[in-house]
Amino acid sequence: QDQLQQKIICPGPVTCLTASPNGLYVLAGVAESIYLWEVSNGNLLAILNRHYQDLTCLCFTDDSSHFLSGAKDCLALVWNLYNVLQAEPSQIPDPRHVWSRHSLPITDLCCGFGGPLARAATASLDQTAKLWEISSGELLLSVLFDVGIMAVTLDLSEYHMFCGGMDGSIFQVDLCAWPVQRDRTFQTERENGKVFKGHRNQVTCLSVSTDGSLLLSGSHDETVRLWDIQSKQCLRTMNHKGPVTNAFIVLAPANMFNPDGKPSVPLPKFSRHVHGTESSDEPGTEGVTLRLGLHQQEPGQSYLEKAERMYSQMYSTREKNLVGDQEHLMIQVSELEEEVSNLRKINKDLFDFSTRIITKPAK
């Protein structure tokens, strides 16, 4: 029997919701604002007001370092989580990128793998799906369809982009097709073998299995369908009692089938005021505070400062200037050449020794 773990009252109707892959943060879209909560204690860390109309979708990168937001104002914004957490409560941090190439509301977002170096896909009612690079903010691909696009997702290897249309069709776009074109038109009559047909109403959500063989789709026709990507055949149809708004494939947790498995720490109530502005004497503000790392209250670098330093080191190769890269490369080349020279000397000594043993005249 299903039991309600916690009922959390939000500041308004929630139009989109997502959790960071590391499980530390929750994002919610309420009207045109983005609310960011910390899961461990329920603190409201930030309220971001950079969209002009209601939010429609939110998603994190796989390393939880960035998140994307899309809204009815036709904008998709890329946010650096570190900058958002470091900003003063009275300030609204600037997004890292503002993507304004869509002409109608954004309907869906999807992030690939690679953290800040990943690619992201956006879908819109303007009948296009676009592929972007998060690090540079550049538009990599724009595909025009003959219907509005309501859902978009990428397979794990990012060979294909799947787009769900308002008419119930699901389109498969090859990202490695030749010749490479930034602007492409998907012509259904020519690419009939790349369309999944079966839904009778708009497709609201898409998800690809980790092995890239299965596609899950949900629709307003009150069904969820499981497709074989290779043959485009529908393997299974699950009926529901209303329009399906969200469905996705996820790896089952280890204790999912354990009847005695229960959460060890209950989810706290989420605060409705930004952390640091409400009174500390307010009842019910106690919670479990999660500290990452071994540092306590002693002076020194905070966790966020250490995380930023770590990220800068991890991705410094992308930010380094060309001269620095060349110097580093020359050092590596010289070290490798020295190692090859030593190996050649050892190989020659072994060859000479073997030759002397083999050619030594018998007594």
Residue 297 pLDDT greater than 50, yes or no: no
Q: Are 102 and 126 in contact (CB under 8 A)?
A: yes
**pLDDT tens digit string along 55-112?**
999 999 999 999 999 999 999 999 999 999 988 877 888 999 999 999 999 999 999 9
Q: Are 222 and 242 in contact (CB under 8 A)?
A: yes
pLDDT for position 323:
52
Structural tokens at position 94: 């600037």
- Distance, in Å, from the CA atom of 255 to the CA atom of 260, rounded to the nearest integer, reads 9
Cα 236 off chain centre by: 27
pLDDT for position 311:
58
Smallest CA-to-CA distance from 122 within 141, 146, 135, 96 is with 141
Cα 202 off chain centre by: 24
- How does residue 313 score in pLDDT terms, banded at 50, 70 and 90? low
String of DSSP letters for 208-266 = E-TTSSEEEEEETTSEEEEEETTTTEEEEEEE-SS--------PPPTTTT-TT---SSP
Place of tokens 């530390």: 24
pLDDT for position 234:
95
Gyration radius from the chain CA atoms: 26
- How does residue 338 score in pLDDT terms, banded at 50, 70 and 90? confident
- How does residue 363 score in pLDDT terms, banded at 50, 70 and 90? low
The DSSP bridge pattern shows strands 139-144 and 183-185 to be parallel
Structural tokens at position 219: 């629709």
Residue 333 pLDDT greater than 80, yes or no: yes
Mean pLDDT of the chain: 84
Structural tokens at position 27: 């994002």
Structural tokens at position 352: 């000479």
Between 276 and 49, name the one with better pLDDT: 49
**pLDDT tens digit string along 187-245?**
877 776 799 999 999 999 999 999 999 999 999 999 999 999 999 999 999 999 999 99
Structural tokens at position 335: 């070290």
> Around Cβ 333, how many Cβ atoms within 10 Å?
10
- How does residue 279 score in pLDDT terms, banded at 50, 70 and 90? very low
CATH 2.130.10.10 assigned to 14-254: yes
